[in-house]
Chain A
Amino acid sequence: MAGITLDKLAHSYLAKPGNDADFALKQIDYHWEDGGAYALLGPSGCGKTTLLNIISGLLLPSKGHVLFDGVDVTELSTEQRNIAQVFQFPVIYDTMTVAQNLAFPLLNRGVNQSEVDSRVSDMLATLELTEKANRKARGLTADEKQKISLGRGLVRYDVNAILFDEPLTVIDPHMKWQLRTKLKELHQQFGHTMIYVTHDQTEALTFADKVVVMYEGEVVQIGTPEELFDTPEHTFVGYFIGSPGMNILPAELNANALQFADQSIALPGDYRNASGSVELGIRPEFVSLLSQEQARAKDNPSCVPFKTTSVEDIGRFRIVRGEVAGHTIAAVLPEDQSLPSEPVALFDPARINVYQHSRLIKPTSMQSGGGNHG
């Protein structure tokens, strides 16, 4: 087991990269703690698999270094790095039985037979595959095969890290949850450093202690699921995390107040460090839809007329989509609340994030409230 340090790491698939756009992976500096569970989250083509392949040693980075527990392994081959990887499609050795599959990496490393036998039977029990130990691996279902590929990594107790490259892509939805639970269990049991690549936010948020969000070859935010939800550091993270994603609206920032659609919304934080054209980010969960009377009763000046276009009933709540001042936004309506006929939208000022050039502007101080989502 090992902590993994990425030191000024960058990669381009071109021989002579010129500008920033040539890099599939822009410079990243980060330290992954030993025994942590991390997820690399981002849309297809954002560079997450590139990063994973650099860590596993299948790809040599154009710049920078990878360190395992402080030791530079950049030039080492995959075999020498002692890591395990689970791929998108289950990779098993067709002609071998389940038990032989699990024994294979051990026998290749010259572990003696009695040790191999005991580890394999332990692993079969852990993976709940004991009954199928002597079956040919090719006859199994996709999720069982994926368990075998995982098991081949786990039988080597000393692996530095286990890397997952979208391992649940081909698994049936009802098995995904089970396998994910199994993964969590194994993580607690063995304490390996685990890095999990996915484009599915649910997988990432449930699996990982910390999620690394990537966008166009760049790490845009590294944080706990809570941080990603409450304070996305980039408008992309806002869109990408949450369902539906964050509403991003153009606004003007002027002396701690946002001007949006003829309304002025006073912000709780101190934003005097920035001004001009900004983007207002608000999660649909914090957009309330009130009737005209309710709005008047509250005497809230920052209400904007909301034109409903569609309503999706998700069961526990409803997602209402509509327009405010010509911009489409989404709002989450609790189950017990009815949708007013001519609603106005009210943004919770404490939950508003302000972005400039897609980056989060942090207030220099908080005047009141605005605590974290708990």
Chain B
Amino acid sequence: MDKPFSNKAWLFVLPVFLLVALSAIVPLMTVVNYSVQDTFGNNQFFWAGLEWYEELLHSERFHDALLRNLTFSAIILIIEIPLGIFIALNMPRKGVWVPICLILMALPLLIPWNVVGTIWQVFGRADIGLLGHTLAQLGVDYNYATNWFDAWVTVILMDVWHWTSLVVLLCYSGLVSIPDAYYQAARIDGASKWKVFRYIQLPKIHRVLLIAVLLRFMDSFMIYTEPFVLTGGGPGNTTTFLSIDLVKMAIGQFDLGPAAAMSIVYFLIILLLSWVFYTVMTNYGEDKPEASR
């Protein structure tokens, strides 16, 4: 059959293409441009090729920061996803408590990152902070400014406090959309509470859970503000994540080339890991393609 061919379709795509070009592709290309050049200021640039990339991939500083990021994201996902599901499962489904719970859950999400950082920074101080002071009185030696473990615990607590709600709300929306008949059928089949979760609730919230995992992974992998406000990456370099290191390099040291190369690599790592999560989670439990259909 002959299909009418028209180039008009391009016109419809054009606005989107322009928008994406201006907002994403052009800025990204300028970064690519910086990453293959060197400069000593004065707007003079020299060709450097892939030198910065080689240097970066062999740099211990980069390896350490990357490892910190991976560890941090892993911890965040391990805590926030199960905790979020657990809270969502226990939230009321009807009655006056529903809007109250939803508002309480949504509150942390409305607070800007740097405010969260400041709240916890003050909260944890041994001299004036409620948490820090109480712990000090109880004889716990807690000081995020000098102890790397305390600094990590504080940053993780901040993130859990700030973002578990997102997982909760996503899971809750998935859970309330399950028709009652499923629960009734499960009761008739004599399924235990765990089996209801395993065979009804989890498969039904599987898609929103994927979004929750992706969002929490990307966001936690890009963590910047909280450790920056708390200790500025310290004590030592123990909370210097990739983003903090990147800013130090680009703005503190004005090493545009290496910083640009690092940005690109950073971006590619997030892209790669997100793709892995997406593929693994969407393929989980899918039917294997049939021989004939």
Q: Does chain B have a CB within 8 A of A327?
A: no
The A-contacting residues of B in range 45-78, CB under 8 angstroms, are none
Q: Does chain A have a CB within 8 A of B41?
A: no
* Residues in B whose Cβ lies below 8 Å from that of A84: 188
Do B190 and A87 touch (CB < 8 A)?
no
Most chain A Cβ neighbours within 10 Å, of B195, B204, B287:
B287
Do A152 and B189 touch (CB < 8 A)?
yes
User: CA–CA, A79 to B188, complex, Å?
Assistant: 5
Q: Does chain A have a CB within 8 A of B15?
A: no
Selected from A87, A104, A135, A153, the residue in CB contact (under 8 A) with B191 is: A104
Q: Which chain A residue has the least Cβ–Cβ distance from B185?
A: A91
Q: Does chain A have a CB within 8 A of B93?
A: no
Q: Does chain A have a CB within 8 A of B139?
A: no
The A-contacting residues of B in range 203-222, CB under 8 angstroms, are 203-204
User: CA–CA, A105 to B190, complex, Å?
Assistant: 6
User: CA–CA, A109 to B287, complex, Å?
Assistant: 28
Q: Which chain B residue has the least Cβ–Cβ distance from A92?
A: B185
Selected from A58, A96, A108, the residue in CB contact (under 8 A) with B192 is: A108
* Residues in A whose Cβ lies below 8 Å from that of B200: 93
User: CA–CA, A85 to B191, complex, Å?
Assistant: 14
User: CA–CA, A108 to B192, complex, Å?
Assistant: 8
Do B188 and A93 touch (CB < 8 A)?
no
The B-contacting residues of A in range 250-271, CB under 8 angstroms, are none
A interface residues, tally (CB under 8 Å): 27
Do B190 and A79 touch (CB < 8 A)?
yes
The B interface is mostly helix, strand or loop, or mixed, namely helix
Do A108 and B191 touch (CB < 8 A)?
yes
* Residues in B whose Cβ lies below 8 Å from that of A58: 184, 187
* Residues in A whose Cβ lies below 8 Å from that of B286: 136
* Residues in B whose Cβ lies below 8 Å from that of A193: none
Do B285 and A56 touch (CB < 8 A)?
no
CB distance from B233 to the nearest CB of A (A): 44
* Residues in B whose Cβ lies below 8 Å from that of A104: 189, 191, 199
* Residues in A whose Cβ lies below 8 Å from that of B285: 94-95, 136
Q: Given the interface contacts A79-B188, A136-B285, A136-B287, does A96 sit within 8 Å of B199 by beta carbon? A: yes
Q: Which chain A residue has the least Cβ–Cβ distance from B190?
A: A108
* Residues in B whose Cβ lies below 8 Å from that of A85: 184-185, 188
User: CA–CA, A135 to B287, complex, Å?
Assistant: 7
The A-contacting residues of B in range 272-293, CB under 8 angstroms, are 285-287
Q: Does chain B have a CB within 8 A of A328?
A: no
Selected from A77, A87, A108, A135, the residue in CB contact (under 8 A) with B189 is: A108
The B-contacting residues of A in range 192-237, CB under 8 angstroms, are none
Q: Does chain A have a CB within 8 A of B252?
A: no
* Residues in B whose Cβ lies below 8 Å from that of A83: 188
Do A93 and B181 touch (CB < 8 A)?
no
Closest 8 CB pairs of A and B: A108-B190, A105-B189, A91-B185, A87-B181, A136-B287, A78-B187, A139-B287, A93-B199
Question: Could you tell me which A residues sit within 8 Å of B by CB distance?
Answer: 56, 58, 77-79, 83-85, 87-89, 91, 93-96, 104-105, 108-109, 135-136, 138-139, 149, 152-153
Question: Could you tell me which B residues sit within 8 Å of A by CB distance?
Answer: 179, 181-182, 184-185, 187-192, 195, 199-200, 203-204, 285-287
Q: List 30 A-B contacts (CB under 8 A).
A: A56-B184, A77-B187, A78-B184, A78-B187, A78-B188, A79-B187, A83-B188, A85-B185, A85-B188, A87-B185, A89-B179, A91-B179, A91-B182, A91-B185, A93-B199, A94-B204, A95-B199, A95-B203, A95-B285, A96-B199, A104-B189, A104-B199, A105-B188, A108-B189, A108-B190, A108-B195, A109-B190, A135-B287, A136-B286, A149-B185
